[in-house]
Amino acid sequence: MNGTKFLHTADLISTLIGKAFAWLIVALMLTVCVEVFKRYLLNAPTAWIYDANNMMYGTLFMMGGAYTLAQGGHVRGDFLYGSMRPRQQAALDLLLYFVFFLPGILALTWAGWTYFQDSLGMHEQTFNATPLPLYPFKFIIPTAGAIVLMQGVAEIIRCVVCLKTGEWPDRLTDAEEADVVAQQLAASEYVDEESKQLAIEKSKGMKG
């Protein structure tokens, strides 16, 4: 498997996982709506709903991390980073990946696996009238860490390629985001064509 194929495969895996777990937003919304209806109209609140909501939201947050990284969506100091040349961006990214990202994600994955094993061993449950098992939720921690680590390795390879070539390698982007930007700009009367094209290209994940 060559470098480009690995990068696109990692992007694809992260994107598919992120989009699959994004459906938890719908499940979370429906759960809250049903609970509000039961609590305030039927006077029949559910004891376990608060814990279930927290676990769904936590799962969504953690499993969406790799997708966000694959799309270049994490917050950065763009007022400095955006003015740098690609090689400077890559050098800075590479430094930060080795100093902060790899130690942090490796620690998260290792500790998460330990937490999961301890939780599974005691069949840990929530503390309420209707307890829920906690060990499936804690398994999400090392799983999310491993997926983010995979995507992080892909980003490190991107940095190395950029340092060699002076250009960022193509990213397997989420076309829907670019489509939304294009639709919004198409209806604008105050943005010239050159600016529209620039905005669309940036929405496709181009760095610069």
Phi and psi torsions of 126, nearest 5°: -75, 160
Residues 150, 64 share a domain? yes
Residue 202 has pLDDT above 70, yes or no: no
Residues 41, 56 share a domain? yes
Residue 208 has pLDDT above 50, yes or no: no
Residue 179 has pLDDT above 70, yes or no: no
Residues 177, 164 share a domain? no
Average pLDDT in the chain? 86
Residues 180, 168 share a domain? no
Count of structural domains within the chain? 2
Strand partners, 133: 125
Do the beta carbons of residue 82 and residue 208 sit within 8 Å? yes
Residues 155, 195 share a domain? no
Helix, strand, coil % (nearest 5) of the chain? Answer: 75, 0, 25
Residues 178, 83 share a domain? no
pLDDT confidence of residue 80: 79
> Domain range for residue 193?
173-208
Read off the pLDDT band of 74 (50, 70, 90).
confident
**pTM of the shown model:** 0.80
The whole-angstrom separation of Cα 93 and Cα 111 is 25
Residues 65, 112 share a domain? yes
**H or E, element range at 74:** none
The whole-angstrom separation of Cα 54 and Cα 75 is 24
Residues 124, 202 share a domain? no
Residue 63 has pLDDT above 90, yes or no: yes
Residues 190, 131 share a domain? no
Residue 177 has pLDDT above 60, yes or no: no
Residues 82, 131 share a domain? yes
Residues 119, 87 share a domain? yes
